[in-house]
A and B are shown apart, each in its own frame.
Chain A
Amino acid sequence: KAGVTQTPRYLIKTRGQQVTLSCSPISGHRSVSWYQQTPGQGLQFLFEYFSETQRNKGNFPGRFSGRQFSNSRSEMNVSTLELGDSALYLCASSYSGGLNTGELFFGEGSRLTVL
């Protein structure tokens, strides 16, 4: 069974640009979550999608947005990039077939550098 796939793995952008990151969950998994990982703040929850609907949202500005498609693939977008957006962005999927037990399956992440 293929794992969670994130693309691109590495990217470099300049301030003011926008970026779109993609995540393909494990087959059959319907919940996709996004986390930002930085050395200073650690892992912070961005949002979670289930059946194309955002169910949970973290405390990030509106420049951070996401969506989920009918095949459960998800994208996140960051507009008007700032230097502080440089981070590893992790996607995680979960089955969500019943009561959430918290086991997430993570991708390897997309490393974003903003210059």
Chain B
Amino acid sequence: AQTVTQSQPEMSVQEAETVTLSCTYDTSESDYYLFWYKQPPSRQMILVIRQEAYKQQNATENRFSVNFQKAAKSFSLKISDSQLGDAAMYFCAYLKSGGSNYKLTFGKGTLLTVNP
């Protein structure tokens, strides 16, 4: 079974600084997707960034970027120029590729605090 591990229960960063959240996963599949979801205190989760395993290029979305190391099964999220609104719980998630498979496996989450 696939597992996703986030080894940092909590992280903090100063406003405008850069922070990296770690995620490792275990799978025997070669084709899959990885995600970072953000859950602010209001609880509605939103997708931050997505990476297809077959793509070597790391995904980037504005201030958010990932470092995807397929061989090491590592998928970290870098937040640049951190803002107060980035404070949230961040979840790393895995999805086996396949048209009818919608079961995401989530890590336990990392609570990010942004200090002014």
Report whether A109 and B43 are in contact in the complex, using a CB–CB cutoff of 8 Å.
yes
Instruction: Quote the shortest CB–CB distance from B47 to chain A (angstroms).
Output: 5
Type the 1/0 row for B63-100, where 1 means its CB is closer than 8 Å to any CB of A: 00000000000000000000000000001010101111
B contact residues around A104 at 8 Å (CB):
45, 47, 102, 104
**What is the interface of chain A mostly: helix, strand, loop, or mixed?**
strand
A contact residues around B42 at 8 Å (CB):
108
Could you say which interface size class chain B belongs to?
20 to 34
Q: Which residue of B lies closest to A41 (CB)?
A: B108
Q: Complex formed: what's the CA distance from A103 to B104 in Å?
A: 10
B28: Cβ under 8 A from any A Cβ: no
Instruction: Quote the shortest CB–CB distance from B110 to chain A (angstroms).
Output: 11
B16: Cβ under 8 A from any A Cβ: no
Report whether A100 and B102 are in contact in the complex, using a CB–CB cutoff of 8 Å.
yes
Q: Complex formed: what's the CA distance from A90 to B100 in Å?
A: 20
Name the residue among A31, A92, A106 with the largest chain B CB count within 10 angstroms.
A106
Q: Which residue of B lies closest to A56 (CB)?
A: B103
B25: Cβ under 8 A from any A Cβ: no
A48: Cβ under 8 A from any B Cβ: yes
Could you say which interface size class chain A belongs to?
20 to 34
Q: Complex formed: what's the CA distance from A35 to B43 in Å?
A: 13
B contact residues around A106 at 8 Å (CB):
44-46
- By a beta-carbon cutoff of 8 Å, the part of chain B in contact with chain A is 33, 35, 42-47, 50, 91, 93, 95, 97-109
Q: Would you mind naming 29 contact pairs between A and B with Cβ atoms under 8 Å apart?
A: A31-B102, A33-B103, A33-B104, A42-B91, A42-B106, A42-B109, A43-B104, A45-B103, A45-B104, A48-B103, A56-B102, A58-B103, A88-B43, A90-B45, A94-B102, A96-B102, A98-B99, A99-B99, A100-B99, A100-B101, A100-B102, A101-B33, A102-B35, A102-B50, A102-B102, A104-B47, A104-B104, A106-B44, A108-B42
